[in-house]
């Protein structure tokens, strides 16, 4: 295979820009980023300090793009980045970083640490130092169509079931409709009720939509592993299909990284804006709620708290939509202290949930204690969220700690209580 | 208290009581215990007849005669002058009556008669340039004269900033190669009494100490008597509250100046100057530079002429900045150079980019 | 060299060299960093009031919710010594005279007794943050020689300045000269160490705010 350290260093050289340089030169080693990182807080291990995760990037920057650094390298006074070091860093850059972005929220000198982690992954990936789990997901996405190896027939099956459950026809490959609907494999496999909920709501709202048989997968393992060329290939499937179908909008589903990929990274990967608009499902629902379309026939009565998925809220900018939607369907919504853009990550984003080594799973279990405490401190038995990966990771967490907390998906909850 | 000096003073209308008060003041100025005042009075009063009084030889080198003028402008001329009755001032070019060969004769006679015992006072710096030819007296360079006189001296008083530190002749570019006494003499006790000129009572006070106790008073690192040079002007300045409040005169006749505000901004070197001006003052306590509205020059400090300018505040640069503009330009050039280098590196990295495929994810 | 010559040197050639290297370093490093540029973000932006680079430059000076409790020493110690340094440097009359000499700008200062008190507090705060850097596992883990060195170079000017005024250890003239020398060392080192954050903090916060603001997230 063709991964090499040289390719990795070259990739880093390509992605280093003025923000990276500014950030790396601003760090004063205050350690506050560690106080915002759930992996550090729940393990107490200083190696998980976010800025420390960037050490290889910092040295490449110094040795390649600074005068003094270059001079130091010329006289042999600098420490080169090695394969062994990158191997050691795999755990720091992938297992213990979900790219949740909380570190960037607290750094007093204004460093966007997650911005740099994303770039470091470009070097990690092509030097062969990405975790096997994410490599596998990427391979399956490129070769088969999705990270879990799902092929269209499985999707078609889910569509058929949803049609049966709702009594509606679900368009496939239909041009000229309002929305191209995307799904994440996790939803297709674990939460197919999401599609039913969508159908129900869109029917009520009079929104036309279609799925695409050549572009149903919303997630982008290429982005998570840090291989922009591969991410581009994956996201282009959606872009080409959407532009071919001539839809006005592409609907990003309840999946965090999918939103990041299609809404924010996609145009930059292909180098131009789209001929359509990307909207997150919650943005659409909130708009409908404001228009008065989302009238509830009854409300969910149990007290519940909301988990804000990092990639949608803090990183994606869908800040205002979720809470009013929760309030509209829940009678007893308890806002938590660290909410909205201050939320705590479920511990499984950024591809972490695809890493199935013993150490990675133990680490995620430790990190989950933050969510466990949120539930216990608020004395609730129900949590609602809107990302299929968060759902699977949180449910695994509940399992591990033998909690009988109920986890609900927001779109499904809304559809369930929707007035007919 | 008896003695020839007392009689002399009485003849000139100075009572014993006044004399004793003077000695007590002198002692207290030097922070000596009260008993020292009496000891001084008794020692000076008992000064023996002319032939037995301690010999003092005063050699003038590259000087302006300001120190001699100062010591004779004492606040009680009669008493200051009478101190000279307590010593045998065997050679002093300004004050002595003799001149020419007679003066030389007096000098050599005194040196021979009192060898090892005379007090040598020096004012003015010693030029080393042109083998000392810049200043010669009686055919001898000052350097030769100093070395010769120092050999038989019990102690040396370097009177004034020139003798103590080199003074104005030493100021940049020091054309005569002027140096201080302590630059030349290394094997005798030297008391530096700097000032341009020194305060009269400081000079006489040190002499009185030496006459009374026969020892050199406690000196600071620069060889100055701590009694008079132990505090900075700043720490004893009556305008200090204005400094602390930030009330500075900005010109010599603005509102601040007229209100007697601090002169720091006008270049006062009070904070780095050790002398007694702020407490003892000048002209029998009439006034002193700051009180008269002019900042302290720092004249009792070495190299005060080259201290960046009398009118430049201490916190301002001593010289105008010369490198700033060039350095900035060089820095900008370095930045631009590395920018080009960085651009080139980025381009070649981009050129070296091979589209990443799945194979590239595995080693 | 006697103490007066030492003082005159640090006020003269020493300052000239230090300011020269400082300006050289600042310009070089600013250009070196920011000339790398940034690719234009072609994704359609989401506008949100209060989410921009400029907002973050100011807003990031406020501790995020819950963080002071997690790290009180870092925040409180950090604020105290930064503000203390600013007060000492910019509101002590002799310093203002220097600034006016160099830039033409001036403003009223604070009484020197207030500056004295602020100096003591600043020194205390700096010692506390040093102790924390040694004690706190994360800070200790991250710290390199450069961190200790830059702390020392920042501490010495405050210490020597205060000691000069208090007439501690060495005579005033020498202490003052050492104070000016320590400032010169700080100036020379600043552009080439983490102390350069004094300049890059604005760029970093601005980029952070702009990049996140593009997505509609006020940071």
Which residue from A minimizes the CA distance to B360?
A: A3
| Amino acid B47: pLDDT | 62
| Amino acid B76: pLDDT | 47
- Measured over all CA atoms, what is the biggest interatomic distance in chain B, rounded to whole angstroms? 118
β-strands B140-141, B136-137 pairing? antiparallel
Strand, helix or coil at B56? strand
Give me the tens of pLDDT residue by residue for chain A, a chain 420 residues long: 899 999 999 999 999 999 999 999 999 999 999 999 999 999 999 999 999 999 999 999 999 999 999 999 999 999 999 999 999 999 999 999 999 999 999 999 999 999 999 999 999 999 999 999 999 999 999 999 999 999 999 999 999 999 999 999 999 999 999 999 999 999 999 999 999 999 999 999 999 999 999 999 999 999 999 999 999 999 999 999 999 999 999 999 999 999 999 999 999 999 999 999 999 999 999 999 999 999 999 999 999 999 999 999 999 999 999 999 999 999 999 999 999 999 999 999 999 999 999 999 999 999 999 999 999 999 999 999 999 999 999 999 999 999 999 999 999 999 999 988
B301 contacts on C by Cβ (under 8 Å): 4, 173
Which residue from B minimizes the CA distance to A221?
A: B358
> With an 8 Å Cβ cutoff, are C28 and B334 in contact?
yes
Least Cα distance to C183 among C14, C12, C25 occurs for C14
Ranges of each domain in chain C: 3-34+64-214
> With an 8 Å Cβ cutoff, are A135 and B361 in contact?
yes
| Amino acid B75: pLDDT | 60
Give the ranges where chain B is alpha helix by DSSP (H): 4-11, 16-29, 34-45, 66-72, 77-86, 100-113, 142-151, 160-165, 167-170, 181-184, 200-213, 226-229, 233-236, 240-245, 255-258, 277-280, 324-351
CB B248 within 8 A of CB B290: no
Ranges of each domain in chain B: 52-226, 233-306, 324-361
Q: What are phi and psi of C191, to 5 degrees?
A: -65, -15
**Percent of residues, chain B, with pLDDT higher than 70:** 93
A and B: number of Cβ contacts within 8 A: 69
| Tens of pLDDT, residues A368-397 | 999 999 999 999 999 999 999 999 999 999
Instruction: For residue A402, give the DSSP letter.
Output: T
A and C: number of Cβ contacts within 8 A: 172
Facing C16 at nearest CB: one of B246, B319, B336: B319
C188 contacts on B by Cβ (under 8 Å): none
**Residue B100 to residue B113: CA distance in whole angstroms:** 20
Angle at B55 between CA B135 and CA B226, to 5 degrees: 80
Q: How many CA atoms lie less than 13 Å away from A331 in the CB half-sphere?
A: 7
List chains touching B (3+ CB pairs under 8 A): A, C
A296-300, B68-72, C20-24, C117-121: range with lowest mean pLDDT: B68-72
Instruction: For residue B231, give the DSSP letter.
Output: S
Q: Does B244 touch chain C (CB under 8 A)?
A: yes
| Amino acid B230: pLDDT | 93
β-strands B126-127, B178-179 pairing? antiparallel
Measured in angstroms, the CA of C47 and the nearest CA of chain A are apart by: 10
A8 contacts on B by Cβ (under 8 Å): none
How far is Cα of residue C128 from the mean position of the Cα atoms in its chain?
A: 17
| Amino acid B40: pLDDT | 82
- Best of B183, B265, B315, B334 to mutate (most C CBs within 10 Å, chain C): B315
Q: pLDDT band for B82, please (50, 70, 90 cuts).
A: low
Superfamily of domain B233-306: Cytochrome-c3 hydrogenase, C-terminal domain (4.10.480.10)
Superfamily of domain B52-226: NADH:ubiquinone oxidoreductase-like, 20kDa subunit (3.40.50.700)
| Amino acid A131: pLDDT | 97
Q: Does B340 touch chain A (CB under 8 A)?
A: no
Q: Is the pLDDT of residue B50 over 60?
A: no
Measured in angstroms, the CA of B361 and the nearest CA of chain A are apart by: 5
Q: Does A310 touch chain C (CB under 8 A)?
A: no
Please give the ipTM for the structure prediction.
0.96
CB B196 within 8 A of CB B170: no
Q: Is the pLDDT of residue B79 over 50?
A: no
| Tens of pLDDT, residues C117-147 | 999 999 999 999 999 999 999 999 999 999 9
CB A111 within 8 A of CB A26: yes
Measured in angstroms, the CA of C50 and the nearest CA of chain A are apart by: 13
Chain C segment 106-145 residues within 8 A of B by beta carbon are 108-113
> With an 8 Å Cβ cutoff, are A67 and B360 in contact?
no
Q: What is the pTM for the complete model shown?
A: 0.91
Query: Who wins on pLDDT, B89 or B194?
Result: B194
Facing C23 at nearest CB: one of B234, B324, B338: B324
Facing A273 at nearest CB: one of C33, C42, C136: C42
| Amino acid A50: pLDDT | 98
Strand, helix or coil at C148? helix
Domains of chain A: 5-130 (1.10.1060), 134-287 (3.40.50.1860), 295-416 (3.40.50)
Q: Is the pLDDT of residue B48 over 60?
A: no
> With an 8 Å Cβ cutoff, are A230 and B338 in contact?
no
Q: Is the pLDDT of residue B80 over 60?
A: no
Tell me whether the CATH fold assigned to B52-226 matches the one assigned to B233-306.
no
Q: pLDDT band for B24, please (50, 70, 90 cuts).
A: confident
**Residue A364 to residue A374: CA distance in whole angstroms:** 16
Average pLDDT over residues C39-49: 96
Count of H-run helices and E-run strands, chain A = 22, 8
| Amino acid B265: pLDDT | 95
Q: Is the pLDDT of residue B43 over 80?
A: no
| Amino acid A151: pLDDT | 92
**Residue B49 to residue A282: CA distance in whole angstroms:** 115
| Amino acid B52: pLDDT | 65
**Percent of residues, chain B, with pLDDT higher than 90:** 65
Measured in angstroms, the CA of A273 and the nearest CA of chain C are apart by: 6
| Tens of pLDDT, residues B310-325 | 999 999 999 889 999 9
Identify which of B96-100, B278-282, C155-159 has the greatest average pLDDT: C155-159
- Listing DSSP states for A310-354 in one string gives TTTTTTT---SSHHHHHHHHBSSB---SS-GGGPPP-S-TTTGGG
Least Cα distance to A16 among A126, A103, A89, A123 occurs for A123
Q: Is A197 exposed, middle or buried (0-12, 13-18, 19+ CB in 10 A)?
A: buried
> With an 8 Å Cβ cutoff, are B272 and C36 in contact?
no
A151: its two tokens: 């092929």
A107 contacts on C by Cβ (under 8 Å): 60, 208
Q: Is the pLDDT of residue B14 over 80?
A: no
| Amino acid B173: pLDDT | 96
Measured in angstroms, the CA of A131 and the nearest CA of chain B are apart by: 10
CB atoms closer than 10 angstroms to residue B286: 10
Give the ranges where A16-148 is alpha helix by DSSP (H): 18-26, 38-43, 55-65, 67-74, 83-90, 102-106, 113-126, 132-143
Angle at A314 between CA A308 and CA A315, to 5 degrees: 120
Facing B342 at nearest CB: one of C30, C36, C110: C36
Facing B363 at nearest CB: one of A67, A128, A230: A128
> With an 8 Å Cβ cutoff, are C34 and A22 in contact?
yes
C7 contacts on B by Cβ (under 8 Å): 272, 307
Q: Is B35 exposed, middle or buried (0-12, 13-18, 19+ CB in 10 A)?
A: exposed
> With an 8 Å Cβ cutoff, are C200 and A26 in contact?
yes
Q: Is the pLDDT of residue C195 over 80?
A: yes
Q: Is the pLDDT of residue B51 over 70?
A: no
Average pLDDT over residues C144-160: 98
CB A179 within 8 A of CB A216: no
CATH topology of domain C3-34+64-214: Fumarate Reductase Cytochrome B subunit (1.20.950)
**Residue A336 to residue A377: CA distance in whole angstroms:** 9
Count of H-run helices and E-run strands, chain C = 12, 0
CB A371 within 8 A of CB A349: no
């Amino acid at each position: 295979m063709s991964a090499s350290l040289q390719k990795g260093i070259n990739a880093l050289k390509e992605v280093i820009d003025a923000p990276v340089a500014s950030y790396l030169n601003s760090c004063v080693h205050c350690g506050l980023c560690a106080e915002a990182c759930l992996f550090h807080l729940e393990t107490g291990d200083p190696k998980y300090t976010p800025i420390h995760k960037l050490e290889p990037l910092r040295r490449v920057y110094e040795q390649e793009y600074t005068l003094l650094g270059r001079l130091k390298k010329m006289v042999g006074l600098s420490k080169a980045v090695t394969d062994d070091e990158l191997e050691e860093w795999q755990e720091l850059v992938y297992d213990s970083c979900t790219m949740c972005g909380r570190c960037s929220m607290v750094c007093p000198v204004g460093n966007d640490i997650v911005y740099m982690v994303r770039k470091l992954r470009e070097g990690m990936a092509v030097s062969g130092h990405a975790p096997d789990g994410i490599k596998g997901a990427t391979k399956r996405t490129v070769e088969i169509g999705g990270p879990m190896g799902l092929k269209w027939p499985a999707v078609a099956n889910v569509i058929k079931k949803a049609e049966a459950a709702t009594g509606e026809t679900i368009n496939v490959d239909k041009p000229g409709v309002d929305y191209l609907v995307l799904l994440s494999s996790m939803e297709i496999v674990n939460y197919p009720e999401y599609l039913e909920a969508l159908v129900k709501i869109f029917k009520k709202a009079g929104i036309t939509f279609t799925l695409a048989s050549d572009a149903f997968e919303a997630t982008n393992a290429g982005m998570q592993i840090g291989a922009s060329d591969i991410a581009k290939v994956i996201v282009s499937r959606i872009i080409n299909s959407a532009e071919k179908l001539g839809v006005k909008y592409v609907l990003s589903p309840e999946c965090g990284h999918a939103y990041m990929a299609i809404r924010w990274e996609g145009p930059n990967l292909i180098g131009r804006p789209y001929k359509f608009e990307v909207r997150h499902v919650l943005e659409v629902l909130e708009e409908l709620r404001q228009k008065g379309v989302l009238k509830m026939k009854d409300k969910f009565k149990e007290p519940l708290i909301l988990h804000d998925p990092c990639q949608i809220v803090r990183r994606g900018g869908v800040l205002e939509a979720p809470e009013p939607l929760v309030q509209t369907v829940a009678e007893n919504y308890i806002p938590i202290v660290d909410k909205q853009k201050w939320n705590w990550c479920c511990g499984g984003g950024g591809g972490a949930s695809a890493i199935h080594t013993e150490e990675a799973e133990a680490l995620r279990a430790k990190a989950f204690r933050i969510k466990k405490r949120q539930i216990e401190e608020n004395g609730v038995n129900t949590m609602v969220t809107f990302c299929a990966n968060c759902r699977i990771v949180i449910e695994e967490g509940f399992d591990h700690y033998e909690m009988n907390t109920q986890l609900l998906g927001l779109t499904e909850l809304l559809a369930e209580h929707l007035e007919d | 208290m008896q003695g020839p000096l007392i009689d002399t003073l009485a003849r000139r209308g100075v009572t014993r009581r006044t004399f004793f008060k003077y000695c007590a003041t002198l002692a207290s100025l030097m922070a000596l215990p009260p008993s020292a005042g009496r000891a001084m009075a008794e020692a000076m009063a008992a000064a023996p007849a002319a032939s037995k009084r301690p010999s003092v030889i005063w050699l003038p080198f590259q000087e302006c005669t300001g120190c001699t003028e100062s010591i004779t402008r004492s606040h009680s001329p009669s008493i200051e002058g009478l101190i000279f009755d307590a010593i045998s001032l065997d050679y002093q070019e300004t004050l002595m009556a003799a001149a020419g060969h007679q003066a030389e004769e007096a000098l050599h006679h005194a040196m021979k008669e009192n060898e090892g015992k005379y007090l040598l006072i020096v004012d003015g710096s010693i030029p080393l340039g042109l083998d000392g030819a810049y200043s010669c007296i009686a055919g001898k360079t000052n350097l030769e004269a100093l070395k010769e006189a120092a050999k038989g001296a019990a102690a040396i008083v370097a009177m004034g900033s020139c003798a103590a530190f080199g003074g104005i002749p030493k100021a940049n570019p020091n054309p005569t190669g002027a140096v201080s006494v302590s630059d030349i003499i290394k094997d005798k006790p030297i008391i530096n009494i700097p000032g341009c000129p020194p305060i009269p009572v400081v000079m006489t006070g040190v002499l009185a100490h030496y006459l009374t106790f026969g020892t050199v008073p406690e000196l600071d690192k620069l060889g100055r008597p701590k009694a008079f040079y132990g505090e900075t002007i700043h720490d004893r300045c009556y305008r200090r509250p204005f400094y602390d409040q930030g009330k500075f005169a900005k010109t010599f006749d603005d509102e601040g100046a007229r209100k007697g505000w601090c002169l720091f901004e006008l270049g006062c070197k009070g904070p780095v100057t050790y002398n007694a001006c702020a407490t003892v003052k000048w002209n029998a306590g009439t006034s002193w530079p700051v009180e008269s509205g002019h900042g302290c020059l720092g004249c009792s400090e070495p190299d005060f002429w080259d201290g960046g300018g009398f009118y430049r505040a201490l916190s301002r640069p001593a010289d105008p900045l010369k490198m700033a503009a060039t350095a900035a330009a060089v820095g900008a050039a370095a930045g631009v150079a590395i920018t080009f280098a960085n651009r080139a590196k980025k381009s070649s990295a981009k050129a070296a980019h091979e589209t990443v495929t799945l194979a590239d994810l595995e080693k | 060299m006697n103490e007066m010559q030492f003082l005159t040197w640090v006020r003269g050639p020493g300052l000239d060299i230090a300011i020269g290297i400082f300006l050289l370093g600042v310009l070089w490093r600013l250009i070196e960093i920011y000339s790398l540029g940034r690719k234009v973000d072609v994704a359609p932006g989401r506008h949100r009031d209060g989410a921009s680079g400029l907002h973050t430059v100011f807003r990031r000076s406020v501790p995020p919710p819950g963080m002071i409790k997690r790290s009180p020493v870092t925040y409180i110690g950090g604020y105290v010594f930064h503000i203390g340094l600013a007060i000492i440097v910019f509101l002590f009359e002799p310093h203002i005279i220097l600034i006016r000499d160099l830039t033409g700008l001036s403003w009223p200062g604070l009484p020197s007794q207030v500056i004295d008190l602020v100096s003591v507090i600043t020194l205390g705060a700096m010692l506390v943050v040093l102790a924390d850097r040694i004690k706190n596992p994360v800070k200790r883990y991250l710290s390199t020689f450069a961190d200790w060195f830059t702390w020392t170079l920042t501490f010495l000017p405050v210490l020597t300045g205060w000691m000069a005024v208090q007439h501690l250890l060495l005579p005033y003239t020498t202490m003052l000269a050492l104070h000016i020398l320590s400032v010169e060392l700080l100036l020379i080192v600043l552009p080439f160490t983490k102390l350069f954050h004094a300049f890059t903090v604005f760029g970093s916060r601005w980029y952070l705010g702009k990049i996140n603001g593009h997505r509609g997230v006020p940071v």
